[in-house]
């Protein structure tokens, strides 16, 4: 495979694709250099922030509010969630930020799937993901167990010695660490006991309520002791199956839905031997020869966020108002902070049905034309049955593409654009597009070819 194809593949899978300018420089880089660049930048990334976060607005305080004041407080919270959502999308798009870190956080957001509804725990949760995305998986899981948004999402506040709630324990085993088939129902009950009293307070901070904690002897994986939550995590990670489960998931997300068992086994051996070092695991994935095998290149169906962020990077898309970004996420079927359930987002073909496919194929053109999108968002909390049309308020900028490629012949422009936008071997030829693009001016040719390429099914893949 050509070096530049490898670079394109790497940046799509480890990031969200390259801007036209980045592509023109980095296409000549070696994989090693590019991987170093990705990891260096990730280590310099800063935490997310939210201006004017209503500090410590407590549940008690909210409960005292009535009528308009309550609505106002709730509305403030909603707007901050929208702001946080947009802030994260902007980081994904901004080429000065760490694409690798944002990509990993998106992966972990689907792995430790959690609904984020209130600003303060949401911000803390996202920064927890950022802090551990490339750290040690053991610390990561222990941080997740103390994460307020997660504690609330999985009812661990109701997990008390007198009346254990198994929700967190079940998902910890089934979805976050070791996976089905490696534990018993009895294990779940015992794990739940170890996390009793791990709770959150009214200010939205983690608190350990010792009076609700069960200090007794628990037996998990046939080992007995007065385990607390941290010791349970250690026990779970002592099982090799946990390393295998994580590597399996990483492979399916970053490499291919069709898993090469042998490779996952090798990854798991190393991951386990490194005591769950995530940076090592990901570096190994991105530098392995098999990562660049043709079967793994240009064969992953982009998630809606991948598609949207990739397009925003390429065409420098600026959304008119914050709600437009949320609207785009909703119609395409992936809303940050709102995974469908604790199992996270489904992958691959699951994104595609007749309705989403047409929207996806037409997305670039709708953004370019600021089209009115006749789409009724399914809203279970809607207050009426009315249906609204929404306009995609967005601006696109073709100038970087024009600057780079605008002086060539039609054939040169077509080849350069195809090379930049499509990953893998797309069959499309310039002659096939000819009747459907503009030939009057070079700039119009470039724009119309771009829009056509972005509406090809092949552009849905990376």
Partner 1 sequence: MKRRNFLKASTLASAAAFVPQFLQAFQAGRLENSRTGKILVVVQLSGGNDGLNTIVPYRNDRYYQLRPRLALKPEEILPVSDELGFNPSLAPLRELYDQGWMSIVNSVGYPNPDRSHFRSMDIWHTASGSDEYWSTGWLGRYLDHHCTGCPAHHALEIDSALSLSMKGQDRTGFAMSNPQQLQKTANNKFLQTLRDHDHHDEENVAYLYKTLIDTQSSADYLAQRARRRRSRVKYPVSAFAKDLKQIAELITADCDTRIYYVSLTGFDTHANQRNRQGRLLRQYAEGMAAFVKDLQQNNLLNDTLILTFSEFGRRAAQNASNGTDHGTANNLFLMGGKLQTPGFFNAAPNLDRLDKKDLIYEIDFRQIYSTILDRWLDSDADRIMGRDFQRLALV
Applying CB under 8 A, among 383, 411, 431, 440 the residue interacting with partner 1 is 383
Q: Is 357 in the site for partner 1 (CB under 8 A)?
A: yes
User: Are the CB atoms for 314 and 22 separated by under 8 Å?
Assistant: no
Applying CB under 8 A, among 51, 222, 289, 379 the residue interacting with partner 1 is 379
Applying CB under 8 A, among 25, 44, 162, 384 the residue interacting with partner 1 is 384
Nearest to 118 by CA among 154, 147, 159, 76: 76
**Token pair 């009426």: residue:** 384
Burial (CB count <10 Å: 0-12, 13-18, 19+), residue 260: middle
- Please provide the size of the chain in residues: 462
Stretch that binds partner 1, among 6-14, 44-52, 259-267, 449-457 (CB under 8 A): 449-457
User: Please, what is the minimum distance in Å from the beta carbon of residue 245 to partner 1?
Assistant: 16
- Under rule CB under 8 A, which residues in 245-304 are in contact with partner 1? 298-301
# binding residues, partner 1 (CB under 8 A): 52
Q: Is 417 in the site for partner 1 (CB under 8 A)?
A: no
Angle between helices 67-93 and 99-111 (to 10 degrees): 130
Stretch that binds partner 1, among 19-27, 76-84, 97-105, 454-462 (CB under 8 A): 454-462
Is residue 99 helix, strand or coil?
helix
> Strand pairing partners for 127?
none
Applying CB under 8 A, among 354, 411, 431, 440 the residue interacting with partner 1 is 354
Distance CA 442, CA 35 (A): 36
- Closer residue to partner 1 (CB): 175 or 278: 175
- Closer residue to partner 1 (CB): 192 or 278: 192
Applying CB under 8 A, among 370, 375, 415, 419 the residue interacting with partner 1 is 375
Distance CA 137, CA 132 (A): 7
Applying CB under 8 A, among 162, 211, 411, 427 the residue interacting with partner 1 is 427
- Closer residue to partner 1 (CB): 2 or 381: 381
Applying CB under 8 A, among 47, 59, 293, 355 the residue interacting with partner 1 is 355
User: Are the CB atoms for 147 and 206 separated by under 8 Å?
Assistant: yes
- Under rule CB under 8 A, which residues in 164-183 are in contact with partner 1? 170
Residues 6+ away with beta carbon under 8 Å from 336: 85, 88, 89, 106, 109, 305, 329
Q: Is 342 in the site for partner 1 (CB under 8 A)?
A: yes
Handedness of CA 288, 290, 292, 297 (dihedral sign): negative
**Token pair 């079940």: residue:** 170
Distance CA 374, CA 379 (A): 15
Compute φ and ψ for 160, nearest 5 degrees. -125, 155
User: Please, what is the minimum distance in Å from the beta carbon of residue 5 to partner 1?
Assistant: 15
Residues 6+ away with beta carbon under 8 Å from 358: none
Tokens of 359: 């929207």
- Closer residue to partner 1 (CB): 413 or 462: 462
Applying CB under 8 A, among 51, 211, 411, 435 the residue interacting with partner 1 is 435
Applying CB under 8 A, among 280, 348, 406, 408 the residue interacting with partner 1 is 348
> Strand pairing partners for 170?
none
Stretch that binds partner 1, among 25-33, 216-224, 280-288, 338-346 (CB under 8 A): 338-346
Stretch that binds partner 1, among 2-10, 91-99, 245-253, 330-338 (CB under 8 A): 330-338
- Under rule CB under 8 A, which residues in 25-84 are in contact with partner 1? none
Applying CB under 8 A, among 333, 392, 405, 421 the residue interacting with partner 1 is 333
Nearest to 38 by CA among 103, 91, 128: 103
Applying CB under 8 A, among 346, 400, 406, 408 the residue interacting with partner 1 is 346
Applying CB under 8 A, among 1, 47, 358, 438 the residue interacting with partner 1 is 358
Distance CA 46, CA 390 (A): 34
Nearest to 317 by CA among 359, 364, 360: 364
From the CA atom positions of the chain, what is the Rg in Å?
24
Residue ranges binding partner 1 (CB under 8 A):
170, 298-301, 331, 333, 338, 340-343, 346, 348-350, 352-358, 361-362, 374-387, 424, 427-428, 432, 435-436, 452, 455-458, 460-461
């Amino acid at each position: 495979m050509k070096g530049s194809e490898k670079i394109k593949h790497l940046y799509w899978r480890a990031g969200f694709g390259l801007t036209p300018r980045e592509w023109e420089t980095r296409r000549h880089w070696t994989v090693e250099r590019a991987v170093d660049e990705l990891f260096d930048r990730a280590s310099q990334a800063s935490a997310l922030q939210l201006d004017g976060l209503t500090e410590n607005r407590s549940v008690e305080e909210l409960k005292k509010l009535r009528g308009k004041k309550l609505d106002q407080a709730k509305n403030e919270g909603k707007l901050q969630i929208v702001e946080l959502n947009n802030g994260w999308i902007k980081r994904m798009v901004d080429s000065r930020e760490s694409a690798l870190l944002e990509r990993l956080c998106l992966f972990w957001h689907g792995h430790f799937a959690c609904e984020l509804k209130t600003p303060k725990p949401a911000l803390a949760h996202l920064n927890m993901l950022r802090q551990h995305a490339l750290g040690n998986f053991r610390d990561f899981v222990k941080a997740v167990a103390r994460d307020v948004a997660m504690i609330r999402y999985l009812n661990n506040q109701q997990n008390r010695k007198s009346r254990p709630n198994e929700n967190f324990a079940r998902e910890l085993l089934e979805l976050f660490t070791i996976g089905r088939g490696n534990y018993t129902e009895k294990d779940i009950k015992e794990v739940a006991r170890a996390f009793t009293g791990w709770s959150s307070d009214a200010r939205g901070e983690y608190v350990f309520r010792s009076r609700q904690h069960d200090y007794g002897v628990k037996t998990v994986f046939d080992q007995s002791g007065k385990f607390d939550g941290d010791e349970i995590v250690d026990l779970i990670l002592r099982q090799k199956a946990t390393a295998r489960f994580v590597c399996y998931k990483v492979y399916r997300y970053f490499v291919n839905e069709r898993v090469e068992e042998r490779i996952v086994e090798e990854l798991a051996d190393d991951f386990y031997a490194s005591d769950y070092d995530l940076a090592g695991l990901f570096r190994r994935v991105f530098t392995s020869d098999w990562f660049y095998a043709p079967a793994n290149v240009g064969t992953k169906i982009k998630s809606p966020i991948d598609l949207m962020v990739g397009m925003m990077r390429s065409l420098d898309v600026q959304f008119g108002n914050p709600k437009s970004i949320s609207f785009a996420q909703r119609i395409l079927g992936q809303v940050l902070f709102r995974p469908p359930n604790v199992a996270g987002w489904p992958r691959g073909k699951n994104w595609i049905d007749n309705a989403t496919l047409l929207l996806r194929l037409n997305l670039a053109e709708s953004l370019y034309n600021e089209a009115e999108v006749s789409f009724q968002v399914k809203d279970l909390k809607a207050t009426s049955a009315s249906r609204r049309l929404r306009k995609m308020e967005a601006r696109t900028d073709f100038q970087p593409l024009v600057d780079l490629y605008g002086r060539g012949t039609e054939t040169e422009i077509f080849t350069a654009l195809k090379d930049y936008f499509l990953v893998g071997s797309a069959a499309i030829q310039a002659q096939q597009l000819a009747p459907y693009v503009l030939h009057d001016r070079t700039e119009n040719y470039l724009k119309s070819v771009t829009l056509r390429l972005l509406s090809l099914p092949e552009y849905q893949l990376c």
